[in-house]
Amino acid sequence: MPSVLKRVSDSSDLLSRLGPVRLLRMDIDPTDPSSGDYKLRVTLSGDLRLDVYERLVGGRVVKYSYSLIRGEGVLLRYDNAPHHRDLETHPHHRHVRGRVLPLYDRSLSAFLQEVTEFLKGIDSGSSEGE
């Protein structure tokens, strides 16, 4: 059964693949080795940061929120808050520049892949990243 600390380590490894990141905050609150909450906050470049939050129970992720933030605005977020009941993937959904869309792959690695594509848009100056 995966532990909270192992999940934090794995998540940190995935975040480091984005390139230079700086850890701003790490909160870990295990209730036992395989259950608890953690939050990671890292900066990317400029005013971009990533927040990763997960709650594990028995080694399974039961609640999550992954966000790409610029300044005070959320550019991209995956989460499973139990609203948006009209979506076929309820409660899993993604927020993209104010729109709420179904979320078919709710993994942290899928989120980070979309962040990578988003950052390419920012780097190339296209409106995709804006």
Write the pLDDT tens digit of every residue in 99-126: 999 999 999 999 999 999 988 877 666 5
What is the percent of the chain with per-residue pLDDT over 70, rounded to a whole number? 92
Contact (Cβ atoms closer than 8 angstroms) between residue 36 and residue 30: yes
> Does the pLDDT at position 61 exceed 70?
yes
Angle at 75 between CA 71 and CA 76, to 5 degrees: 135
If pLDDT is split at 50, 70 and 90, which confidence band does 130 have?
very low
Helix axes 4-16, 108-124, angle to 10 degrees: 20
Pairwise CA distance, residues 46 & 63, whole Å: 29
If pLDDT is split at 50, 70 and 90, which confidence band does 45 have?
confident
If pLDDT is split at 50, 70 and 90, which confidence band does 127 have?
very low
Q: What local confidence, expressed as pLDDT, does residue 62 receive? A: 96
Q: What local confidence, expressed as pLDDT, does residue 123 receive? A: 62
Contact (Cβ atoms closer than 8 angstroms) between residue 15 and residue 42: yes
> Does the pLDDT at position 129 exceed 60?
no
